Amino acid sequence: MSPYDLFIAPFAEFDFMRRALVGVIALGLGAGPIGVLMMLRRMSLAGDAMAHAILPGAAVGFLAAGLNLFAMTIGGLVAGFAVAIGAGAVARATQMKEDAALAAFYLVSLALGVMLVSLRGSNVDLLHVLFGTVLALDDPTLLLIVGVSTVSMLTLAVLWRPMVVECVDPGFLRSVSRAGTPTHLVFLALVVLNLVGGFHALGTLLAVGLMMLPAATARFWASDLTALVLTAVLVACGSGVIGLLVSYHLGVPSGPAIILVAGGAYVLSVLVGPIGGILLRLMPRRHLEA
């Protein structure tokens, strides 16, 4: 098989592959920087909980209008914001930590969402909601994903400095500026938006994968924040492209293939990454070398 047949022909010959390509690149551009900020905030598992939190809202939209883009998007956004705000409120009103509150909301949301979809839909509909259909993106869905990515990048460009400061020392930001709480709320809004966009392509179970795995991978290759973001974006986009090619040539589901490629990049980075990789730590060092 020639390099053209292996890498270019699937996208040149099939319109659905080109749509999927645009979708995964847009997801990578928007979710990559968000994943890095979530990692810096130690919110990696919270992202997974919030990804599942959109399921009941999407399920209500499905019950009301079937597999309708607008209804499921609005439902997912409402549910995502409700869980994010609700978990924060519980953490502030009680002795429970925010991660524990998110875990409780996550479990209830996942069970409720699956039950709601099962009430009216078939197993195919349930799989569509849980794992997405990146190879079946239509024009409205593609425009939604690209729109979410555009809003994310523009918002990060405007609020990048306070968002980074809020990650490193939120107490300091609140002491010198009133932008602390609004910045945190805007950040949560971006997380929910990107999870809803990823939901339409990768489903609720895998949407957070293209956000967190590239960020975790980048940590083994870069220490500077700018380099971290660029590396995460490259890994996210590259995982999407390679995952689509693997799905096409091997006939496996595209969403899991994309996330498995990103997972493979993470495992490789854990082993050979120049910043904290296992093999580098095992290599003998010169005397008194740090």
pLDDT, tens only, 72-81 = 899 999 988 8
Question: CA–CA separation, 231 vs 122, rounded Å?
Answer: 40
- Give the pLDDT score at 290: 52
**CA proximity to 156, closest of 232, 51, 44:** 232
DSSP track, 16-72: HHHHHHHHHHHHHHHHHHHHHHHHHTT-HHHHHHHHHHHHHHHHHHHHHHSS-HHHH
**CA proximity to 116, closest of 130, 96, 103, 105:** 130
Residue type, 223: S
- Give the pLDDT score at 82: 85
Kindly report the average pLDDT of the chain as a whole number: 87
Tokens 């492209």: give the residue.
241
Supply the range of the domain harboring residue 154.
3-282
Question: CA–CA separation, 127 vs 62, rounded Å?
Answer: 13
Contact 266, 213 (CB under 8 A): yes
92, part of any domain: yes
CATH at 232: 1.10.3470.10
- Report which DSSP code applies to 14: -
Tell me what percent of the chain is helix, strand and coil, each rounded to the nearest 5: 85, 0, 15
- Give the pLDDT score at 251: 92
287, part of any domain: no
pLDDT(248) > 90: yes
288, part of any domain: no
pLDDT(286) > 70: no
Total structural domains within the chain? 1
> pLDDT tier at 285 (50, 70, 90 boundaries)?
low
How deeply is 4 buried, as exposed, middle or buried, from its count of CB atoms within 10 A (0-12, 13-18, 19+)?
exposed
89, part of any domain: yes
289, part of any domain: no
Instruction: At 171, give phi and psi (nearest 5°).
Output: -65, -40
116, part of any domain: yes
263, part of any domain: yes
Question: CA–CA separation, 109 vs 181, rounded Å?
Answer: 26
**Structure tokens that stand for 171 in this block:** 């107490």
Helix axes 209-218, 15-40, angle to 10 degrees: 60
186, part of any domain: yes
pLDDT(99) > 90: no
